[in-house]
A and B are shown apart, each in its own frame.
Chain A
Amino acid sequence: MNLFPTIVTAEARPRRRGRSRLLIAAAGATVALCAVAAQAAENRKEAKLEIAPGGNVTIVNNSGSVALRSAFGRQVLVAYTTHSDKIEVDQNSTADKQRIELRSHTLAGQKPTADEAKVDFEITVPPGVSVNVTTVSAPVTAEGLSGDLSLSSESGQISVHNVAKSHLHIRSMNAPVSLTGVTGTHVDIQSSGGAVHMSNVTGPRVAVGTTNGNIDYRGDCSGGGDYVLTTHSGEIDMWLPPSASVDLSARSRTGSVENEFPLEAKIHPTFPPAQGRSFAGTSNSGSSSVELQSFSGKIRVKKQ
């Protein structure tokens, strides 16, 4: 049995030609991939910037994305990827290292398309550093930060996860806002038309106001704080666990209210109860104050 034939038969020749074509195609693809990677590497930039304790990082980025994370140390790690040469990022740091500013902008005379104008930021900040982000359509994600956060976007989704003992100030025009695992934090959210979703959000004060955006809250409103959710024509949904200790009132001026959560009626309500338009009561010791107010929208309180 000839295991290593050295004579190429007439049938084997076309097979070898096909193999070599395959090799050439693979080599071409590899070169193309390398070129793309090289191009991507050119558009991606990274920097490590010193920041003083309690300093501030400001990011202004119209489109693309902004992702914030926390890490130990005294440096802000900045990485960003531009999607064209028509846009650039200005990076400024003050001499006292109190303030870092990153601002993307179109180069003079350039008119980038929507895709070309995008810049994706990935920023890691030390604990206790406050961050301000302003975008138009870029979504903003903040994970595990402990400094004060001020996030603003017209239409880019704003997501905040696992933030503790901080101040969180969010402004949105039509952007949905999502908060998960935000504890012991002063929360102030203003949203015109964007929906606001909160899950396990607690703090000394949690205030949410929308014009027509819906608001929903899942959690126990713990911590003895003030929880004030207000909307003009949006709907408010709240899911509370039986362990929730709340002094709750809900009013809709021209809309309706529904309650499926067991509450003890208050002896001295602060407003005259109106069937289908308002209710008030306490659960457990009523340690946190919860006010739900809608002008014309519906309010529902349910057991989680």
Chain B
Amino acid sequence: MNCQQFQEVLPYIIETGGKPEEEQHLETCASCAALVDELRYIAEQAKLLLPMYDPSPRVWNNIEQSLHREGLLLPEGRMSRLGHITKTPIQTKNWTPLGWAFALTAVIAFAAVLTNYRPRQLPQDQSLAQNIAADPATTMNGDDQQLISQLAQADPDARGVYENSLREVNSYISDAQQAAKQDPDDPAAREFLLEAYQQKEMLYQMATARSLP
């Protein structure tokens, strides 16, 4: 799992907890772990906002009495001028416009962090090391590993060369996928993706031809 895939499922992780592979990514990726900590903090603070700014029933009573005095509220709870707003039981709950405003602000802040978050720019070496360690874009999936395994049986010397080439092309595919996602209407981004898959197809064909008896 790479950072992008992790961030796509992040809202569910915050809500319901992560799966083992997501937890594994968190253990290896400092920037995603920091993001999760920040989001959890925001979520906790958002919960605290509502009761903190919820006025007491006395405030409600005072407002109600004032409205009665000014003739805006009828005894049965109807607004005299507007006539269509009724004081229903739901309005007696401890939710105020201020509280709603704070809750809404917290949700917007949460969403803004999620959409605008970019992993911190690590120094190049550190970034590279982290990518190699944790990013499947530069590692190999099950099919790749199977291919390499078969190839190594036929010719052990070829293993390293093919591993490097597959890592390179996986990185290409990952970049092209991101580009196509960011600019779905850009034909060049789609061409990159097609080209990247053609490169991988070529490697598979060469390796398969090699590993045949």
**Do A and B bind?**
yes
Q: Inside 8 A of B206's CB, which chain A residues have their CB?
A: 152, 154, 171, 173
Please, how many angstroms separate the alpha-carbon atoms of A235 and B205 in the complex? 25
Residue A212 is within 8 A (CB to CB) of chain B in the complex? yes
Taking a contact as CB atoms under 8 Å apart, the answer to whether B188 and A174 are in contact is no
| Mask of B191-213 contacts with A, CB within 8 angstroms, 1/0 | 11001101100110110011000
Q: Does B22 contact A (CB under 8 A)?
A: no
Q: A199 contacts the other chain (Cβ, under 8 Å)? A: no
Judge whether B10 is part of the interface by a CB distance below 8 angstroms: no
In the assembled complex, B38 has its CB within 8 A of some CB on chain A: no
Interface residues of A in 278-296 (CB under 8 A from B): 293, 295-296
Residues in A neighbouring B176, C-beta threshold 8 A: 232, 295
Interface of A, secondary structure class, is: loop
**A256 interface residue, CB < 8 Å from B?**
no
B199 and A295: CB pair below 8 A?
A: no
Count how many pairs of residues, one from A and one from B, have CB atoms less than 8 Å apart in the complex: 71
Collect the chain B residues with CB atoms within 8 Å of residue A134's CB: 209
State whether the Cβ of A300 lies closer than 8 Å to any Cβ in chain B: no
**Beta-carbon contacts of B133-166 to A below 8 Å, as 1s and 0s?**
0000000000000000000000000100110110
A253 at the interface (CB under 8 A from B): yes
* Min CB–CB distance B31 → chain A (angstroms): 19
The 8 Å CB contact of B168, one of A211, A251, A253, A271, is A211
Q: Which residues of the partner chain A approach B186 to less than 8 Å between Cβ atoms?
A: 271
- Identify which of B179, B188, B203 contacts A173 (C-beta below 8 A): B203
Interface residues of A in 251-266 (CB under 8 A from B): 251, 253
Nearest A residue to B172 by beta-carbon distance? A232
A136 to B211, CA, bound (A): 12
Q: How long is the Cα–Cα vector from A155 to B164 in the complex, in angstroms? A: 14
Which residue of the partner chain A has the closest CB to B175?
A: A295
A232 with B165: in contact, given A136-B210, A253-B179, A295-B179 (CB under 8 Å)?
A: no
The 3 lowest CB-CB distance pairs between A and B, nearest first, are: A232-B172, A209-B195, A192-B165
Q: Provide 7 A-B residue pairs closer than 8 Å at the C-beta atoms, listed in order of the A residue.
A: A154-B161, A174-B165, A192-B203, A211-B165, A211-B168, A232-B171, A232-B199
Question: Assuming A173-B161, A271-B188, what are 14 further A-B pairs, CB within 8 angstroms?
Answer: A134-B209, A152-B206, A171-B206, A173-B162, A173-B206, A192-B168, A192-B203, A193-B164, A209-B195, A211-B168, A211-B172, A230-B195, A232-B199, A293-B188
